[in-house]
Structure 1
């Protein structure tokens, strides 16, 4: 059985991927508006690429909130 590898991005990488600034992603993280994220034991934040894609699909630019 083949397992798919999960790919995780830093906040900076995720911001570039979704087309918003690092600061915007940070703000959205604190308000619950942005994509799902993981907080690692060391406090670092990571975004799973699959979750970013799902979030982008739902929150396409120009789409009413």
Structure 2
């Protein structure tokens, strides 16, 4: 089964926050893992993002 990836804008919409929030997290090394494609755009694995999000809900591990 192949992994599905979404753009920063689309993955941010899944969580209800802005793409700039993810950009800021990435710049600070705090956000979910992503890959950078040839044109410089970021792509996020849906499963990895969902796992990161679950881990960072109130009461989750930091």
Question: 1:35, 1:51 within 8 Å by CA — same for their partners in 2?
Answer: yes
Cα RMSD after superposing both structures = 1.4
TM-score of the aligned structures, taking structure 2 as reference length: 0.85
Which runs of no fewer than 5 residues in structure 2 stay unpaired?
none
The residue number in structure 2 matching 1:43 is 40
The residue number in structure 2 matching 1:18 is 15
CA distance in 2, matches of 1:31, 1:63: 22
Highest CA radius of gyration, 1 or 2? 1
What number of residue pairs does the alignment pair up? Answer: 61
Ranges of 4+ aligned residues in structure 1 off by more than 6 Å: none
| Partner SS, residue 47 of structure 1 | strand
The superposition leaves residues 9-41 of structure 1 with CA deviations (integer Å, 9 ceiling, x where unpaired) of: 000001111222111011001001111100112
